[in-house]
Structure 1
Amino acid sequence: MVRLTRAQQQERTRTAVLAAARAEFAEHGYVEAKVDQIAERAELTRGAVYSNFPSKRALYLAVLVDMVEHSATDEVPPSPPRSTAEALGSFARAWLERLPLADDTPAFGQMQLRSLARVLDDEPARGALAQVTRLEALLLALALESCAPTDAGQVRQVRRAELVLRLLNGSGPFADTALGFGDPFDVAHACAHLGGLGLADTWDPPHLPYVAPARACQDLWTPPEGLPDLITERRVGFDEDGVIAVLGINRLGAAEETIRAARPGDRVTVAVVTSDPAEIGRLVRLRIRDFTRCLRRVFTPDAWPRLHLVVDDRGLLASATGVPNADDSTEHAVRIHKGELVARADGRGAAYAAATAEVSNTTRSKRAAT
């Protein structure tokens, strides 16, 4: 008889719980599903379920993340879209492919939609979802700006991306019902037409001129290994010059400040931190991984920004950059140059300050001498 290690037993238990939970949620939906029934399906105790997942919501989010991670992906490289309208229409069609089939049960259809209706039933969770949606709009905008910026009338595409996501997600608590109403092809056509809409979209946040400069430093550091990038689904390396912004879930809007201010050639890494990795951390993983898979169906690799996006739920990257106790309101950023941390900033505007920081002459001369 083969004896399993503790880690192997934990993984087997977790796999059994996920399989049982998926069956329970698909049959009864999130609200009516019972943890006791999930434990019975998995032939485990209620305590064994909660030892792996601290709440029903955490378990539901884990099931959706597992569905996304194991969903089939289209490996055929897309052809570059010829216009913003074509890109938006293609993105909408990729997004709408998640609509449930006619013979799917209502509960499974909600899972297929990655629906969070009646799941995020408190203000912190809804606020986190709003921040993540804002980040999704930025990712779509950056892809649009890279592939076809000239036919849309302006460089920044964030407002256009926000309109598209509002249309695809619905505009209120009945968003799931709205997705089942009317013809999905009409929605895709409407998104394409937004490509020709004239918008005065500029980047000029009023607080940036008042942001304090980053503090110069010259610190060695040891970056963590193996952090997965939610955009490319590859492991992140930190061997390039650039900026790392450690942002709490309530400060994700600062991601655009980092990207817009970064110098050509910089590698920007946004590390999302939260005090609730079981729920909010999984929410970020679910939404961004699902979203970027739709983007990869439309945009070629050269349209991706020089951006890494990681969920730092164990605080490894935060600690390595000097923030041992990061929380939902953290905004801390550092500039990396030739393997050293050469500038630091904290608080509102920190991401912008680090992105605009220069390597000091003293630092340059010390490196030259060595």
Structure 2
Amino acid sequence: MAHLTRPTQYNIEDSNIALLGSDLEKHVREHAGDKEAAWQAAGKEPGTQIWRIEQFHVKEWPKSHYGHFYDGDSYIVLHTYKKDPDNEELFYDLHFWLGDETSQDEAGTAAYKTVELDDHLGGKPVQYREIQGYESSRFLSYFPKFVSLHGGVASGFHHVTEPPPDNSRRLYLISSAQVPGKATGHLQVREVPTEGASILEGGVYVLDMGHNVWQFNTRAAPGKAKFKTAEFVQSLVNERQSQCESTVYDEHGQGAGLFLSELGLEAVGPPQVVAFATEKALFRLSDSTGQLAFEPVSPPTESSLSPDDAFVLDDSSNPTNPAIYVWIGANASLTERRLALQYGQHYLYKRKQGGGRTALATHIVKINQGQETDAFKSSISGS
């Protein structure tokens, strides 16, 4: 029997997301001239389309699964819309989403294929890199609710309403956040490791044991999250035709110790605190001298941009829209266009290495000149 090896897992702390110089890059470039059948129906009309990466190939994700993502996979999400309902012109937001357990091959293929789809749509989309657990509010707004679960194409996957197998449990972190276009709080369900280290102050959790479903509210949990969690728990009970019982525990209330002891805890852990800050900075990527150079420019405002080059704007300390923007000038060279996102990723890795996963998960947004978002305009104007 052949020896089976697990695909190498993608590491967010690896600066080389596109795996330049790797076998994956060679494989993708060898097939660069191939016509990707999946793109023929992409971006034809307003709406959201999703594809999953499977063995270097782009596979359409069933519409019944929209809003559900698995941590072992990588996905490409295209949102097509009109800025003016009376105008037929279409605009695009293009995201690639990387799960915590996705492989390097899947992550790299998603990055390459996103560029391919961008080219197919004439370079018009605004591109976003999405890391599991740190999704942008724009990405989340496409779905009535967002669910991330363990599993994927390599290991198999389950639906959130299915009870866990006998003698096993599942733990979910539930949150409610305000996202664009949603009048009420947006439900987010994230499966986390079923262990005590997952329970942190400020969260609301659901422990699914099949016949028993327990909700646990930590002391500092927001009221909206508690309410949304209660709705989620009731949906599980209803889906299982009332073949399970639900119980709610509050951190300092009666029975809280029973919940904690199931996970080997005596008390709730402190909230995760992330502190990192950088000054806004702008960098030019240019090959005008015959060699590619990546150099700082000042001031980090619109007056420093040139249509002949590509630029990286670090506004990761923005309290409202933290991001690394990759801006491509209208006359930028092919090399600058193709490598700008890679330089943005490499810059983020170098600058945020000491800030942990949260810092490295900062959104990277690629924008072509003429397609600037309001958030970018605000950042580059200095307001």
TM superposition score category, shorter chain reference: under 0.3
Q: Would you tell me which structure has more helix in proportion to its own residues?
A: 1
TM score, norm. by length of structure 1 = 0.23
Q: Would you tell me which structure has more strand in proportion to its own residues?
A: 2
